[in-house]
Amino acid sequence: MSDNKYAQVKLISKPDNLLKTIYTACRTCYSSDSPLNIYECENAQNEEKMLKLISKVISSGHYSTIEHIQISFAISNISRACSHQLVRHRHMSFSQKSQRYVKEKEQFEYLIPDTIENNPELKAKFEQFMGKISDFYLELTSAGIPAEDARSVLPNAASTSMVASLNLREMIHLANLRLCTRAQKEIRILVKRMCDELIKEEPWLKDYLVPKCERLGYCDEDKSCGRKPAKG
Which residues make up the interface to ligand FAD (CB under 6 A)? 88-91, 170, 173, 177-178, 182-183
C-beta of 214: minimal distance to ligand FAD in Å?
Answer: 15
C-beta of 69: minimal distance to ligand FAD in Å?
Answer: 16
Helix (H, G, I), strand (E, B) or coil at 149: helix
In the bound state with ligand FAD, the residue whose beta carbon lies nearer, of 65 and 134, is: 65
- Beta-sheet pairing, 8-13 with 93-96: unpaired
Active site residues: 178
Helix (H, G, I), strand (E, B) or coil at 40: helix
C-beta of 1: minimal distance to ligand FAD in Å?
Answer: 20
In the bound state with ligand FAD, the residue whose beta carbon lies nearer, of 48 and 222, is: 222
Gyration radius from the chain CA atoms: 22
Helix (H, G, I), strand (E, B) or coil at 199: helix
Length of the chain: 232
Give the helix, strand, coil percentages of the chain, each rounded to 5.
55, 15, 35
In the bound state with ligand FAD, the residue whose beta carbon lies nearer, of 19 and 177, is: 177
